[in-house]
Amino acid sequence: MCRRARAVIGVLPGFALVAFSATTGLTADPCPPHLFVIERSKNANIVAYDANIGPAGELKPSEPVVAYWLLNAKKGQREELNALERKHAYGFDVAPSDTPGTYVLAFKARRDHRLIVRMRNGCAVVIAPIGGHDGILRRIFVQSKTDSLQQKVEYVELFGEDVATGGHLYEKFVPGE
């Protein structure tokens, strides 16, 4: 993750960050501020998943990924996930893979869907299958509705970039189908 100071000017659908650098003016940040985010139809708040980068620019082995709420409905305040969210909905397990410096991330809500966390071109990325291709995951959108006081997921959309071509990737699925 890039560490230079910047002020956000705009985001293009979760893919490109335009930033201001005091020394160079407007720049396109080569390292997005988050590995990926989860957006929900329920409200403007998002769950951000960030790389935890060590002083030498590598993923920290003790905790390579951190997750938290960005409360966009409350001016972007940061709030930690609560115990129930960490244990079920947005929590994850992360473990070293067979490749040094690479980690396997599995959501507690969907343990069968394994993601790879690694450095690529100096930036931390999450590699996941998206629409039948290896993609760099950028955003997950969850469409839900309240049914008898319970939230029910109607569908999930994945957005990313093709690892091989850099083209946009998209996949939509209905949980349980």
Give per-residue pLDDT as tens, 125-156: 999 999 999 999 999 999 999 877 788 889 99
List the domain boundaries for the chain. 1-31, 34-173
Q: What is the torsion angle, in degrees rounded to the nearest 10, for the CA atoms of residue 97, residue 99, residue 17 and residue 110?
A: -20
Ramachandran category for residue 166: left, alpha or beta (phi over 0 → left; psi -120 to 50 → alpha): left
- Given a cut of 90, whether residue 62 has pLDDT beyond it is yes
Strands (E), 29-132: 36-40, 46-51, 65-71, 77-80, 92-96, 103-107, 110-120, 123-130
| Contact indicator for 137, 124 with CB cutoff of 8 Å | no
Q: What share of the chain is helix, strand, coil (3-state, %, to 5)?
A: 5, 60, 35
| pLDDT recorded at residue 68 | 97
| Contact indicator for 59, 42 with CB cutoff of 8 Å | no
- Given a cut of 80, whether residue 104 has pLDDT beyond it is yes
| pLDDT recorded at residue 28 | 53
| pLDDT recorded at residue 24 | 37
Rounded Cα gap, residues 87 and 171, in angstroms: 26
- What's the rounded mean pLDDT across residues 100-118? 91
